[in-house]
Amino acid sequence: MSEMVKQNKIEGILAEFPDPAALISAAEKMRDAGYKKFDCHSPFPIHGMDKAMGLKRSPLGWIVGSAALFGTSAALGLQWWTSTVDYRLVISGKPFFSFQAYVPVTFALGVLLSAFAALIAMLVLNGLPRLHHPIFYSDRFAKSSDDGFFISIEGDDPKFDIEKTKAFLESIGGTNSEILKET
Amino acid sequence: MSKGITDSGIIPGGEAPLIEKNPTFGSITEEISRITERKTPGVWYLALGAAVSLMFVLFGSIGYLVFEGVGIWGLNNPVGWGWAIINFVWWVGIGHAGTLISAILFLLRQRWRTSINRFAEAMTLFAVSCALIFPAIHVGRIWVVYWMFPVPNQMSMWPNFRSPLLWDVFAVSTYFTASLLFWYTGLIPDLATFRDRAKTKIRKIVFGFLSLGWRGGNRQWKHYELAYLILAGISTPLVLSVHSVVSTDFAISILPGWHTTIFPPYFVAGAIFSGFAMVVTLTIIARKLFHLEHIITVSHLEKMNKIMLLTGMMVGYAYSMEFFIAWYSGNIYEQFVFINRAFGQYAWAYWIMISCNVLIPQMFWFKKLRRSIPVMFIASILINVGMWFERFVIVVTSLAQDFLPSSWDYYSPTIWDISTFVGSFGLFFTLFLLFIRFLPMISMSEVKGVLPQADPHHAGGDRHE
């Protein structure tokens, strides 16, 4: 294998772990060893993994909150402008700006924009959609969406070193470790 | 990996397991993916053929409606709202269970929802698709339907935002869109599973594209879980608001029998009631056909029956409270409408409604009946019959005999009313059959997450409580 290594850029190392508990304790050891660009892959989210990996809370709430604020104010603005400025009609003697009647549409558009923001911002924060990723060079990785638990380390992590990192992953319980490179 | 559960399948903690037969992560993937990967069963083609034929009945009826006008329906003075609005409210109501299961039960941390949420959310989307057809076609001149949206136009007109009919446009279309986005968000990890299992080139391309490059790393799960939580959080008030807004179509008017403040909660309870009934009807068929009895267990169905018992009684409370208020208000028109509902020319519809919606769910007080598949299957169908008649009673009785006796009339549908409604089932089942054939009908990633071995404290055996 090592002849091939010279030809293609090494993108990272992938190692497999037996179950969620092993993955979470390995993540803690990775964090404590000072690795930064590593990720823990599992078929479902594992409770407590953010803390084990030392990750900060997702900023998604702020993004969606801003979208909601924008959606509601745009909706209220639209209703105010159309019925008091651009198209004034007296309907059942109600005031032009009958804000009580504008609540349902304001709420609905706030929700609509938030829903789009939640999905789109989640994808953008995750760097998706993405057609390819070096991790898919691995054949074993297909298991990660089935019943496999993996840790990947990217080649540009400051602490990355093929031999040492690989040995470290094996020392914390990783098996079937493989080097990710174009084949 | 499934060690740690005793042979009887009981978690040492005491509660019965959510998923039976001690599945592993791999067996969940296998069982659910296999349904879409194996050769298409012949019975599926038969069912699709029947559904598509019915769908063409719908399209044909709509075509004739557009050609001829709403006069082909049984509408006339004084009943200007007939089956179209009844069907609309009925289909939207059915959709509500899906969102309740996917959003509200998620926020309430009801882990049993994972077995049925994908299925119920799909049902929501398809039911709301059917619902959206009716208000769109009942406007008569369908080519100017865009007037309902705030689109700048050459007439410098804007919609009247003070009208509940316009609120409906926004509420229901937002509901459909938000449900679709929520559903798709939930599907992404499972689509990645399909991508990773794909053997044929077409499946590789299609699922590779749809799964958007999902890698299941915790750095992705972190944002994903928060997005899912937020979508659940915004869908919860949305689902409560949608049927409230639908009820204001009636409640904002001044017609006796419609103009009551109980309508929004009463409609929401009724919507959840009928929606759960539809989920039960469909899951009973699907779990049997696809041998998923250990994933969608009788306990899941029992829990849904309990919700039907609860919401059925809320609806029953609303029926009696309407009578009480009619009497207590001292308003003679209001009193007339309600006495007329129960004993007038539409009494038959009223008593179908009462029997199906109030009496039938009372069986679910008994555990034996609540856990009996044939009983709940028949009950769930009857409940949806009853809920259709509830909307019929509300719409038709208040209109047919209004303030002026000289304009009273008896409303009956024409063949086109019936064909449009029956045809809408064709659309619903066509979409449903395509869904169960091509997409994972149970959320694999969520079901794996509620297995006992998914808990990181489980494998070592040291369950710290």
Decide if A118 and B234 are in contact by the 8 Å CB cutoff.
yes
Contact B136, B142 (CB under 8 A): yes
- Residue A35 has what DSSP assignment? -
Across B451-455, average pLDDT: 83
Q: Does A20 touch chain B (CB under 8 A)?
A: yes
Task: Give per-residue pLDDT as tens, B267-281.
Answer: 999 999 999 999 999
Is residue B463 predicted with pLDDT exceeding 70?
A: no
Chain B residues whose CB is inside 8 A of the A40 CB are 217-218
- Residue A58 has what DSSP assignment? P
The residue of chain A with its CA nearest to that of B253 is A92
A39, A102, A128 ranked by CB distance to B214: nearest: A128
Q: How confident is the model at residue A66 (pLDDT cuts 50, 70, 90)?
A: very high
Is residue B458 predicted with pLDDT exceeding 80?
A: no
Across B337-358, average pLDDT: 93
Binding-face residues of B in 318-337 toward A, CB within 8 A: none
| Cα–Cα distance measured from residue B94 to residue B120, given in angstroms and rounded to the nearest whole number | 10
**Can you tell me which residue has the tokens 């038959």?**
B348
pLDDT of amino acid B294: 85
Is residue B412 predicted with pLDDT exceeding 60?
A: yes
Across B46-56, average pLDDT: 95
Question: How would you write chain B as a 3-class SS string?
Answer: CCECECCCCCCCCCCCCCCCCCCCHHHHHHHHHHHHHCCCCHHHHHHHHHHHHHHHHHHHHHHHHHHHCHHHCCCCCCCCCCHHHHHHHHHHHHHHHHHHHHHHHHHCCCHHHHHCHHHHHHHHHHHHHHHHHHHHHCCCCHHHHHHHCCCCCCCCCCCCCCCHHHHHHHHHHHHHHHHHHHHHHHHHHHHHHHHHHCCCHHHHHHHHHHCCCCCCEHHHHHHHHHHHHHHHHHHHHHHHHHHHHHHHHHHCCCCCCCCCCCHHHHHHHHHHHHHHHHHHHHHHHHHHHCCCCCCCCHHHHHHHHHHHHHHHHHHHHHHHHHHHHHHHHCCHHHHHHHHHHHHCCCHHHHHHHHHHHHHHHHHHHCHHHHCCHHHHHHHHHHHHHHHHHHHHHHHHHHHHCCCCHHHCCCCCCCHHHHHHHHHHHHHHHHHHHHHHHHCCCCCHHHHHHHCHHHCCCCCCCCCCC
User: Cα dihedral angle (B448, B451, B454, B460), rounded to 10 degrees?
Assistant: -150
Q: Which residues make beta-bridge pairs with A149? A: A17
Is residue B464 predicted with pLDDT exceeding 50?
A: no
Contact B106, B126 (CB under 8 A): no
Q: Please give the model's pTM, rounded to 2 decimal places.
A: 0.90
Chain A residues whose CB is inside 8 A of the B238 CB are 108, 111
pLDDT of amino acid B1: 39
Counting one residue from A and one from B, how many pairs have CB atoms under 8 Å apart? 215
What number of CA atoms fall less than 13 Å from residue A92's CA on the CB side?
9
Mutate to test the interface with B, among A24, A51, A83, A146 (most CBs of B within 10 A): A146
| Cα–Cα distance measured from residue B396 to residue B379, given in angstroms and rounded to the nearest whole number | 25
Chain A residues whose CB is inside 8 A of the B196 CB are 141-146
Task: Give per-residue pLDDT as tens, A27-60.
Answer: 998 888 888 888 899 999 988 888 888 888 889 9
Q: How confident is the model at residue B42 (pLDDT cuts 50, 70, 90)?
A: confident
Is residue B175 predicted with pLDDT exceeding 80?
A: yes
Across A88-99, average pLDDT: 88
| Cα–Cα distance measured from residue B78 to residue B398, given in angstroms and rounded to the nearest whole number | 10
Chain A residues whose CB is inside 8 A of the B445 CB are 43-45
| Cα–Cα distance measured from residue B2 to residue B382, given in angstroms and rounded to the nearest whole number | 41
pLDDT of amino acid B319: 93
* Structural tokens at position B355: 């029997």
Contact A82, B150 (CB under 8 A): yes
Decide if A128 and B213 are in contact by the 8 Å CB cutoff.
yes
Decide if A86 and B445 are in contact by the 8 Å CB cutoff.
no
Is residue A176 predicted with pLDDT exceeding 80?
A: yes
Is residue A178 predicted with pLDDT exceeding 90?
A: no
Q: What is the mean pLDDT of chain B?
A: 88
Across B13-37, average pLDDT: 79
Q: Does A45 touch chain B (CB under 8 A)?
A: yes
User: In which element (H, E) is residue A153 found?
Assistant: strand A149-154
Chain B residues whose CB is inside 8 A of the A35 CB are none
Decide if B161 and A82 are in contact by the 8 Å CB cutoff.
yes
Q: Does B233 touch chain A (CB under 8 A)?
A: no
Across A69-79, average pLDDT: 95
Is residue B2 predicted with pLDDT exceeding 50?
A: no
Residue with the larger pLDDT of the pair B455 and B432? B432
| Cα–Cα distance measured from residue A129 to residue B209, given in angstroms and rounded to the nearest whole number | 9
Is residue B427 predicted with pLDDT exceeding 60?
A: yes
Percentage of residues in chain B having pLDDT higher than 90: 57
pLDDT of amino acid B5: 44
Which three-class secondary structure state does DSSP give residue A160?
Answer: coil
Is residue B223 predicted with pLDDT exceeding 90?
A: yes
Across B336-351, average pLDDT: 92
Residue with the larger pLDDT of the pair B362 and A8? B362
- φ, ψ of residue B203 to 5 degrees: the values are -60, -40
Q: Does B442 touch chain A (CB under 8 A)?
A: no
Q: Does A84 touch chain B (CB under 8 A)?
A: no
Q: Does A93 touch chain B (CB under 8 A)?
A: no
Decide if A145 and B189 are in contact by the 8 Å CB cutoff.
yes
| Cα–Cα distance measured from residue B205 to residue B18, given in angstroms and rounded to the nearest whole number | 34
pLDDT of amino acid B7: 44
Binding-face residues of A in 109-138 toward B, CB within 8 A: 109, 111-112, 114-116, 118-119, 121-123, 125-126, 128-133, 135
Across B48-63, average pLDDT: 95
Residues, chain B, total? 465
pLDDT of amino acid B327: 93
CA distances from B246 to A90, A107, B310, B390 (A): 24, 15, 22, 14
Decide if A21 and B170 are in contact by the 8 Å CB cutoff.
no
Contact B458, B3 (CB under 8 A): no
Decide if B158 and A111 are in contact by the 8 Å CB cutoff.
no
Q: What is the mean pLDDT of chain A?
A: 87
Q: Does B174 touch chain A (CB under 8 A)?
A: yes
Is residue B172 predicted with pLDDT exceeding 90?
A: yes
CA proximity to B218, closest of A12, A117, A171, A28: A28
Decide if B196 and A142 are in contact by the 8 Å CB cutoff.
yes
Q: Does A169 touch chain B (CB under 8 A)?
A: no
Q: Does A82 touch chain B (CB under 8 A)?
A: yes
Q: Does B192 touch chain A (CB under 8 A)?
A: yes
The residue of chain A with its CA nearest to that of B231 is A115
Task: Let me know if A66 is exposed, middle or buried by CB neighbors in 10 A (0-12, 13-18, 19+).
Answer: middle
Q: Does B241 touch chain A (CB under 8 A)?
A: yes
Decide if B177 and A112 are in contact by the 8 Å CB cutoff.
yes
Task: Give per-residue pLDDT as tens, B87-112.
Answer: 999 999 999 888 888 888 888 888 88
The residue of chain B with its CA nearest to that of A41 is B217
pLDDT of amino acid A8: 67
* Structural tokens at position A24: 């979470």
Task: Give per-residue pLDDT as tens, A166-175.
Answer: 888 888 888 8
Is residue A7 predicted with pLDDT exceeding 70?
A: no
Across A107-129, average pLDDT: 93
CA distances from B401 to B76, B330, B393 (A): 13, 19, 12
Beta pairing, strands A149-154 & A10-17: antiparallel
